[in-house]
A and B are shown apart, each in its own frame.
Chain A
Amino acid sequence: MKSTEDEMPIVVLLVEDSPGDVRLTQEAFRDSGKPVSLHLAADGIEAMAFLRQEGTYANAPRPDLILLDLNMPRMDGREVLALIKKDPSLKIIPTIILTTSEAEADIMISYQLQANCYLRKPAHWDAFDNLVRSINAFWLARAKLPQQRQVV
């Protein structure tokens, strides 16, 4: 995997409470062709602190892509999504819902709140691994992501 001078790593924020799913996702991203800098937030409150660069996250990089679970303690993904998409500086960041829920209500609400897409985590971890690889293949290799200007 050659890294050219201008091949900056893509910064991905994974907002996920389940440790096993975090590991699976980390592994799948590690195997992707592009340099990826994966950051973690274990619940909605941490996620917002990261995105707002507050407190311990004062130097957090701005993500190029957000993977967001729905059901999390303290502040759930629906609330995070709503906050992101209402924030003039955050709403530009492509935000993908990645959740076990297949409830129509959750799908509908996510799209109403302008999630870029909704993906259901398959029950088996091999299928989940394939799904994360397909996220890489599409969002990191195919889609153009908006440039994240670093706030000086």
Chain B
Amino acid sequence: MRTVLLIEDSPGDVRLTLEAFREADKSIDLRVVADGVEAMTFLKREGVHADAPRPDFILLDLNLPKMDGREVLAHIKEDEDLKTIPTVILTTSDAEADILTSYQLQANCYLSKPVQLEEFEGLVKSINDFWLTKVKLPQQTHGGRT
């Protein structure tokens, strides 16, 4: 069973993504955090997230409250332990500056959220088909926990 961590603050987009993943593959365990600070707590398995599963894949919005997505990305990719988790930017911005920054920070890829609902659903499906089906993901060692 794959675990996907969605780091996204907009409630409507959370719902859309959840529904689209459910359509695409019911077996995916989708976890959601709504800001950058909670994202790091989840990934570091601290506090309330002490028993959080290690995600196989991360979908990260750039514009987040408390700690911006670019900072989260930087933290993930600087962390010896976390940097192997494929991290895909999924954001409304299509600004060159944001795309460049994300790749400089070693995002695995960058996706712009489509405005049309059907396209958004199509995109999530294609993320699932590509990243969660075709792509080989690193085995996530669970550090002693099952």
Interface membership of B102, Cβ < 8 A: no
Output the nearest chain B residue to A25 by Cβ-Cβ distance: B12
A125 to B65, CA, bound (A): 17
Interface membership of B122, Cβ < 8 A: no
Q: Given A42-B115, A73-B92, A100-B34, A19–B120 Cβ distance below 8 Å?
A: yes
| A72 engages B10 (CB within 8 Å) | no
Which of A53-61, A78-86, A116-124 lies at the interface? A116-124
Output the nearest chain B residue to A101 by Cβ-Cβ distance: B65
Count of chain A to chain B residue pairs whose CB atoms are closer than 8 Å in the complex: 72
Interface membership of A135, Cβ < 8 A: no
| A121 engages B10 (CB within 8 Å) | yes
Among the listed A17, A23, A100, A124, which residue makes an inter-chain contact with B65, where contact means beta carbons less than 8 Å apart? A100
| A17 engages B16 (CB within 8 Å) | no
A72 to B95, CA, bound (A): 11
Contacts of B113 in A (CB 8 A): 18-19
Min CB–CB distance A9 → chain B (angstroms): 23
Contacts of A128 in B (CB 8 A): 11-12
Contacts of A17 in B (CB 8 A): 92
Interface membership of A21, Cβ < 8 A: yes
Interface membership of A45, Cβ < 8 A: no
Contacts of A102 in B (CB 8 A): 65
Main SS at interface, chain B = loop
Interface membership of B146, Cβ < 8 A: no
Output the nearest chain B residue to A69 by Cβ-Cβ distance: B10
Interface membership of B51, Cβ < 8 A: no
Produce 1/0 per residue, B12-51, CB < 8 A to A: 1111110000000000000000100000000000000000
**Interface residue tally on B, bucketed by range:** 20 to 34
Among the listed A19, A24, A74, A125, which residue makes an inter-chain contact with B116, where contact means beta carbons less than 8 Å apart? A19
| A18 engages B10 (CB within 8 Å) | yes
A101 to B98, CA, bound (A): 20
Produce 1/0 per residue, B87-121, CB < 8 A to A: 00000111100100000000000000111110010
Min CB–CB distance A44 → chain B (angstroms): 12
Interface membership of A20, Cβ < 8 A: yes
Output the nearest chain B residue to A124 by Cβ-Cβ distance: B11
| B92 engages A125 (CB within 8 Å) | no
Min CB–CB distance B14 → chain A (angstroms): 7
B contact set with A: CB distance below 8 Å: 9-17, 34, 63, 65-66, 92-95, 98, 113-117, 120
A contact set with B: CB distance below 8 Å: 17-25, 42, 71-74, 100-103, 121-125, 127-128
